[in-house]
Amino acid sequence: MIVTVLSNESLRPGASDLRIRADASARRPRAGQFAHIACGDALLLRRPISLCDEEAGVWRFVFEHKGPGTRYLAARKPGDTLDILGPLGRGFTCEPEDLPTLLVGGGIGVPPLLLAARRLAGTAHAVLGFRAASLAVLTDELASLCARTAFCSDDGSLGTRGFTDAVARRLLSETAYARVLACGPRPMLRAVAGAARAAGVPCEVSLEERMACGVGACLACACRVRAGAEETFRRVCLDGPVFDAETVVW
């Protein structure tokens, strides 16, 4: 669909906050789903960007400027149009349950957890980690959308010093959770999945892989998973990006 940019603001140096109005016919995105966005005539491939938030048909993307695609998106002005496919992929399980859900986000893996927190209607707990306070995004918003929020950073400039899995491990030992939903760098996901397994709590992780078609046809974005006794490749774009952590071959 061709959509109009409503706003595009800098969240901090190197990170943008882009809002678009989706077509009335577009499906309502679930947390963890992504949009596949064309980034101008000069770039052949679309860029998969996670949905950060959705309210009343306004979709929000928070992303870091990493290469020519995200720099193109960062330069869009209100009123510009974007060519978007989506929402695509399998999202997080976000159903309010008797027990709270624990969200664990690292760095630029944090944005999709905002939509998860919204869908969980204020019941979620969150652990949010960044390399440093200067690189943090969405901290106030997530704090207001979650029942409990804990922060950590590699250098101690935000919250406790250390990694998210250590904080998650502590929360998992203190509180009974329905499940853990995690998004962030792969080593973090692996560590968080280990913490959830040790606590006997189901865990879903959002994986990333270089992607081409975005709809499941080209098999470029493979990730290795266990299916029964065998290992096989699944498509991050269609079978994921969210996977049951127990099936992921790290």
Partner 1 sequence: MDMNRDVNMAVPFAGLTFQNPVAVASGTFGFGREYGLRFDIGRLGAVCVKGLTLRPRAGNPPPRVAETPMGMLNSVGLQNPGAEAFLRDELPFLRGFNTLVIANVSGDTVEEYAALAGLLSDGGVDMLEVNISCPNVKEGGLLFGTDPRSAAAVTEAVKRRASVPVMVKLSPNVTDIAEIARTVESAGADALSLINTLMGMRIDIRTRRPILHRGMGGLSGPAVRPVAVRCVYQAARAVRLPIMGMGGITCAEDAVEFLLAGAHTVAVGTALFKDETAPLTVLDGLDAYCRANGVSDIRTLTGAMIIDS
Q: What Å distances lie between residue 194 and 77, 107, 202, 204, 225, CA to CA?
A: 42, 19, 11, 12, 16
Residue bearing tokens 């944005």: 111
Q: Which residues contact 230 (CB under 8 A, 6 or more apart)?
A: none
Cis? peptide before 241, omega within 30° of 0: yes
**Residue 216 Cβ, how far from partner 1 at the closest point, in Å?**
5
**Residue 209 Cβ, how far from partner 1 at the closest point, in Å?**
5
Nearer to partner 1, 155 or 231 (CB): 231
- Closest alpha carbon to 103 in 176, 168, 54, 170: 168
The sign of the dihedral angle between the CA atoms of 130, 207, 148, 53 is positive
The sign of the dihedral angle between the CA atoms of 37, 30, 52, 156 is negative
Task: Write the DSSP symbol of residue 11.
Answer: E
Nearer to partner 1, 42 or 229 (CB): 42
Nearer to partner 1, 23 or 95 (CB): 23
Nearer to partner 1, 21 or 186 (CB): 186
**Residue 77 Cβ, how far from partner 1 at the closest point, in Å?**
22
Nearer to partner 1, 1 or 11 (CB): 1
Task: Write the DSSP symbol of residue 246.
Answer: G
What tokens were used for 145? 């959308």
**Residue 135 Cβ, how far from partner 1 at the closest point, in Å?**
18
- Closest alpha carbon to 93 in 171, 206, 199: 206
Nearer to partner 1, 64 or 141 (CB): 64
Q: What residues are paired with 222 via a beta bridge? A: 235
**Residue 38 Cβ, how far from partner 1 at the closest point, in Å?**
6
**Residue 232 Cβ, how far from partner 1 at the closest point, in Å?**
6
Q: Which residues bind partner 1 (CB under 8 A)?
A: 38, 42-46, 85, 209-224, 231-233, 238
